[in-house]
Amino acid sequence: MFSGLEKAAKVLGESSQPPTPLYICSNCKEAYSEVQNAPDACHYHPGTVVINHDNDEAWVDCDPEQIFDDPEMREENPEGFMWTCCDEAFDAVGCKLGFHQQRGVKTPTAAPVLPTDGERENKRARRS
């Protein structure tokens, strides 16, 4: 169902191995060198970030009209967002361990794919 995003991430995950000693990990956004890289070096979230409308406390000061997904908003209000992979807040430590990965120097600003409110509701009503 939601494999489209994963597919995109995989395509972006191809690295071209530039000859610089430090890389920026595309998973956790931290600098690393190949010597530091290990199967458990990287904590990251394989999922995507969505607005956590369930967390009323996080958004209590916000006009509903003002709630939108935006990098600044994520920084300011990490509790108001959650990862689709683990339902943790945006600033939670990555729920997956793996190698640091590098997908090129430039980090393209991906256009956010925002599901409609209806779709979000459905997604949250997750089956156990």
Using CB under 5 A as the criterion, which residues of the chain lie in contact with Zn ion when the complex forms?
25, 27-28, 42, 45, 83, 85-86, 95, 100
Name the minimum Å distance from CB 41 to Zn ion.
7
Count Cα neighbours of 17 within 13 Å in the Cβ-side half-sphere: 1
| Closest C-alpha among 13, 33, 15 to residue 23 | 33
- For Zn ion, give the closer residue by CB, 9 or 95: 95
Question: Do 30 and 108 meet the contact criterion of CB atoms below 8 Å apart?
Answer: no
Name the minimum Å distance from CB 59 to Zn ion.
21
- For Zn ion, give the closer residue by CB, 25 or 50: 25
- For Zn ion, give the closer residue by CB, 42 or 58: 42
Name the minimum Å distance from CB 32 to Zn ion.
6
Name the minimum Å distance from CB 108 to Zn ion.
18
Tokens 């009209």 correspond to 65
- For Zn ion, give the closer residue by CB, 42 or 50: 42
Supply angle C-alpha 88, 99, 6, rounded to 5. 55
**Residue 108, Cβ density class (10 Å: 0-12 exposed, 13-18 middle, ≥19 buried):** exposed
